[in-house]
A = this chain, B = another copy of it.
Amino acid sequence: MDGNVIVGQSGGPTSVINSSLAGVYKTAIDRGAKKVYGMLHGIKGLLDGQYVDLSEKINSTMDIDLLKRTPSSYLGSCRYKLPEISEDRETFDKIFKILDDLDIKYFFYIGGNDSMDTIKKLSDYAIVTGSDIKFMGVPKTIDNDLAVTDHTPGFGSAAKFIAATMKEIIRDGLVYDYPTVTIVEIMGRNAGWLTAAAALAKSDDCEGVDLIYLPEKVFDIDHFMARVKEIAAKGRSMVIAVSEGIKVADGRYVFELSEHVEFVDAFGHKQLAGSAKFLANKIGAELGIKTRAIELSTLQRCAAHMTSRTDITEAYNVGGAAVKAAFEGETGKVVVLKRVSDDPYMCITETNDVHQIANIEKKVPLEWITDDDFVTDDLIHYIRPLIQAELSPIMVDGLPRHLNINA
């Protein structure tokens, strides 16, 4: 093994992004890496000279197992897009200088769309300057909006948390004997994959969600109100899943509709209610039905106590596969998941040119959204295998144990 390894994490964290970090670290060590560095706060932190020697932090197989169960980015994160090479070579020269000083030969970056842009630019720049450093992208995002890959690590665990939580919210929401409306707002500004996961709640022990609205399809408020009225008229309580990013026909987000009235907070700022809150208010005001709006919020991406074993294993595997590929000479690639069988579910890893992946958003196909405000069985069958099985948290004194770089 010639040279050292560095790995970073970037973008919004997930419940399993650290499992990919574990996969990179463990595989690199097992395959003979001398040193494995971790960038702190991604490429932005590296530019400021922030990094650690990971072997000083991760000391045992127990640490590896805790790392897999630790939500958010162990190494910290950043939201930073590298400049275009043509506009600012200085930043790139600075990064390569830091890498050379640490004798880095292998560079791994775990992240979503924007992070893959970092791999693209750095590997392009390596070609320009003749650097032999290998750059590999390791995908993660709860949003599942990355191109080429069957799905992204992080999505399955978020989907499992959402589906499990919806089952619990449905039990809670149907408890009274008069109609109530519970609207649950789910993450995904442009892609509805996570909101679609709410459909998985339906089973022989659960009534399921009544209506599901994804951002891919224009949201018709009048139609929505009519559906709610229709269900309430049967005396039924209902639970509805909406994406934070649903939009009306003129292109405005639903949560932007409140901008058109006085909606100014104590500090003179227009405050926008979320989509769910806006719709709950409207139902309460116009139909006189008791409503509740719930935002699943950050919990969707950090509920490490309820991850999918399938997801966490795949997250580990894409990290390991990136190391294997880089050590074998690949660069400018992203590891992707390829579903080779539906039943039984089987996925393998492949590598793919980063140029086909960076900055592209994969949305839910319109044919997977039904006219009766739900999703098709095809979509449910696509997601179902990704939420299977669990990785039990390691509980200490009543709470899940994590690995904390600051502790």
Q: Nearest Cβ distance between residue A180 and chain B, in whole angstroms?
A: 12
Chain B positions within 8 Å of A284 at CB level: 269
Interface membership of A294, Cβ < 8 A = yes
Mark contacts of A293-309 with chain B using CB atoms, 8 A cut-off: 1 yes-contact digit, 0 otherwise: 01101110111111010
Known contacts A165-B299, A206-B404, A281-B265; A175/B77 CB under 8 A: yes
Interface membership of A160, Cβ < 8 A = yes
Q: Nearest Cβ distance between residue A244 and chain B, in whole angstroms?
A: 14
Interface membership of A105, Cβ < 8 A = no
Mark contacts of A304-347 with chain B using CB atoms, 8 A cut-off: 1 yes-contact digit, 0 otherwise: 11101000000000000000000000000000000000000000
Q: Nearest Cβ distance between residue A186 and chain B, in whole angstroms?
A: 13
In the complex, identify which listed stretch (A222-230, A349-357, A359-367, A393-401) lies at the interface while the others stay far away. Answer: A393-401
Q: Are A72 and B295 in contact (CB under 8 A)?
A: no
Known contacts A160-B399, A305-B168, A398-B308; A265/B258 CB under 8 A: yes
Contacts of A152-188 to chain B: CB distance below 8 A: 160, 163-165, 167-169, 171-177, 182
Interface membership of A348, Cβ < 8 A = no
Q: Are A266 and B257 in contact (CB under 8 A)?
A: yes
Q: Nearest Cβ distance between residue A405 and chain B, in whole angstroms?
A: 10
Interface membership of A73, Cβ < 8 A = yes
Q: Nearest Cβ distance between residue A146 and chain B, in whole angstroms?
A: 20
Interface membership of A132, Cβ < 8 A = no
Instruction: Tell me which of B175, B281, B388, B398 contacts A73 (CB under 8 A).
Output: B175
- Max chain B Cβ within 10 angstroms of own Cβ: one of A207, A258, A281, A299: A299
In the complex, identify which listed stretch (A27-35, A54-62, A87-95, A197-205) lies at the interface while the others stay far away. Answer: A197-205
Known contacts A261-B265, A282-B266; A399/B201 CB under 8 A: yes
Instruction: Tell me which of B175, B201, B263 contacts A264 (CB under 8 A).
Output: B263
Interface membership of A406, Cβ < 8 A = yes
Known contacts A207-B406, A399-B203, A402-B206; A168/B73 CB under 8 A: no
Instruction: Tell me which of B77, B271, B403 contacts A273 (CB under 8 A).
Output: B271
Docked complex Cα distance between A173 and B400 (Å): 17
Docked complex Cα distance between A155 and B384 (Å): 33
Docked complex Cα distance between A281 and B268 (Å): 10
Interface membership of A292, Cβ < 8 A = yes
- Max chain B Cβ within 10 angstroms of own Cβ: one of A45, A260, A306, A398: A398
Interface membership of A286, Cβ < 8 A = yes
CB-defined A-B contacts under 8 Å, sample of 10: A44-B177, A70-B171, A72-B175, A77-B175, A163-B398, A168-B400, A262-B263, A262-B264, A265-B278, A265-B285
User: Could you tell me which A residues sit within 8 Å of B by CB distance?
Assistant: 13, 40-41, 44-45, 50, 70-73, 76-79, 160, 163-165, 167-169, 171-177, 182, 200-201, 203-207, 257-258, 260-269, 271, 273, 278, 281-282, 284-286, 292, 294-295, 297-299, 301-306, 308, 384, 387-390, 392, 395-404, 406-407
6 smallest A-B Cβ distances: which pairs? A267-B285, A72-B171, A387-B398, A172-B302, A168-B302, A262-B262
